[in-house]
Structure 1
């Protein structure tokens, strides 16, 4: 697994987790989904992605999107 796959998998997991918790537990959990979406938008504009930095420190190899 490379860095790009890890970041996309993590983002998808956070979005689905937020939706599930929002549906079954409390609508306030939808804020987690909104946070994930806003983070993805800012990462596409600025190139700064905290999750990519964490996965890189964990030793994942670079993909083509995050270097």
Structure 2
């Protein structure tokens, strides 16, 4: 049985995107439960929708934005290490 383990020695686009999605879901659920405002759960649903959108289409707006801000992807990090 294969086990997938992401590299945690540095931060790259894919890792930051996963962290942000988890943070937004966790924080919006906590706020929704604490304040009893159901509006926060709509944000949670939006993040879930975007995760499914990425899985189906391969397009992730937050990853595109992070890359434009200068954060390299994991593939770019590997290509630099091999040279």
TM-score by length of 1: 0.88
Please list every run of 5 or more consecutive structure 2 residues that lacks an aligned counterpart in the other structure.
1-10, 76-83
Match of 1:10 among 20, 38, 45: 20
Match of residue 28 from structure 1: 39
How many pairs does the alignment contain? 64
Match of 2:74 among 60, 63, 66: 63
Please list every run of 5 or more consecutive structure 1 residues that lacks an aligned counterpart in the other structure.
none
How many Å apart are 1:63 and its aligned residue? 2.2
Q: Which has the higher contact order (CA 8 A, sep 6+)?
A: 1
Partners of 1:44 and 1:63 in 2: how far apart?
Answer: 18
TM-score by length of 2: 0.72
Radius of gyration: which is bigger? 2
Runs of 4+ in 1 over 2 A off after TM superposition: none
Partners of 1:40 and 1:15 in 2: how far apart?
Answer: 11
The root-mean-square deviation of aligned C-alpha atoms, in Å, is 1.0
